[in-house]
Amino acid sequence: MATQRFWFLTRHVPDTVTFLEDLAHMAEAHKLKDVFAPIVAGHTVLRVLSDPMIQRIRFRIGAQDVGPPLLLRVAQLIREGTIKVEYDPKMQGGAEYDMATNTFHLGFTAAQTVTQEALVVHEAVHAGFDALSCKRMTVADSEAAAYLAQCTYARGKSKSAPTVRLLESSFDRASDLVFEIGWRLAGEVLDNRQPAEADVARLRQAVLGHHHYKHYTAASVEKYDGV
Ligand SMILES: [Zn+2]
């Protein structure tokens, strides 16, 4: 509810986000961060989802289109309070969308880097699939889509050379392959091209080799149950 009220403010008073971020820093110092942190985290998600770069994310994985309609629907559901955003310091800069409780958990409040913003995009793709109740979507498709959206956002926003890409934080070769392939396909998405099915298949395969998803098979299905 608080998020809804402050969203109204930020739409009509442009400096409100900065004000809220300052407030959160002050609140942290005064141990009031439990009150303000989720509000600021909610704004971070809405700010990322209203970034013009969202309009450049357009591709298809399996039977599912990923693009502005999917991501802007998530923003709408956050404003309505159907999807929630919480700050979880235990996540230490990471992020996660919990489809059982329809909640984003952010390990940061105001995103400080494009990498963190891109992580929000990754989780927003999962939230979008949850909103669509994609009951038969495989984990491989779900993650391939989320990583490709994440890489497209980061590559499009990056001011560095296009070869400077996202890297797997707990670096291992098999896991980093997801970002390596995702970054290359993101270049195609930014050129308004749909990646070839053979490349999408490589991305799915890389996801299944990533240490987070090793216990899944190509047939494993995600538990998207609606919001
Ligand atoms: Zn994911």
Grade residue 192 by pLDDT with cuts at 50, 70 and 90: very high
Grade residue 2 by pLDDT with cuts at 50, 70 and 90: very low
Please tell me the distance between residue 8's alpha carbon and the centre of ligand 1 in angstroms.
30
Please tell me the distance between residue 34's alpha carbon and the centre of ligand 1 in angstroms.
26
Please tell me the distance between residue 226's alpha carbon and the centre of ligand 1 in angstroms.
17
125-148 average pLDDT score: 96
Average pLDDT, the chain: 89
88-109 average pLDDT score: 93
- Per the listing, tokens 């402050």 go with 6
Percent of the chain clearing pLDDT 90 (strictly above): 68
Please tell me the distance between residue 7's alpha carbon and the centre of ligand 1 in angstroms.
26
pLDDT at residue 31, as a whole number: 62
Please tell me the distance between residue 26's alpha carbon and the centre of ligand 1 in angstroms.
32
Backbone φ, ψ for residue 18 (5° rounding)? -60, -45
Sign of dihedral through CA atoms 131, 60, 111, 99?
Answer: positive
Is 35's pLDDT higher than 80?
Answer: no
Is 226's pLDDT higher than 70?
Answer: yes
Please tell me the distance between residue 147's alpha carbon and the centre of ligand 1 in angstroms.
7
Please tell me the distance between residue 122's alpha carbon and the centre of ligand 1 in angstroms.
6
Is 33's pLDDT higher than 80?
Answer: no
Please tell me the distance between residue 27's alpha carbon and the centre of ligand 1 in angstroms.
31
Please tell me the distance between residue 143's alpha carbon and the centre of ligand 1 in angstroms.
5
12-38 average pLDDT score: 69
Grade residue 171 by pLDDT with cuts at 50, 70 and 90: confident
- Could you read off the pLDDT of 45-61 as tens digits, one per residue? 999 999 999 999 999 99
Please tell me the distance between residue 146's alpha carbon and the centre of ligand 1 in angstroms.
6
Is 95's pLDDT higher than 50?
Answer: yes
Please tell me the distance between residue 22's alpha carbon and the centre of ligand 1 in angstroms.
30
Is 12's pLDDT higher than 90?
Answer: no
As a whole number of angstroms, the distance between CA 50 and CA 33 comes to 25
Please tell me the distance between residue 32's alpha carbon and the centre of ligand 1 in angstroms.
31
Please tell me the distance between residue 123's alpha carbon and the centre of ligand 1 in angstroms.
6
Calculate the alpha carbon distances from 102 to 6, 53, 54, 124, 150 in Å: 20, 24, 21, 11, 20
Greater pLDDT, 3 or 33: 33
Surrounding residues of ion ligand 1, Cβ less than 5 A: 143, 146
Distance of CA 137 to the CA centre of its chain: 18
Greater pLDDT, 123 or 36: 123
As a whole number of angstroms, the distance between CA 52 and CA 70 comes to 15
Is 14's pLDDT higher than 60?
Answer: no
144-164 average pLDDT score: 93
132-152 average pLDDT score: 96
CB 168 within 8 A of CB 179: yes
Please tell me the distance between residue 11's alpha carbon and the centre of ligand 1 in angstroms.
29
Percent of the chain clearing pLDDT 70 (strictly above): 89
Please tell me the distance between residue 40's alpha carbon and the centre of ligand 1 in angstroms.
22
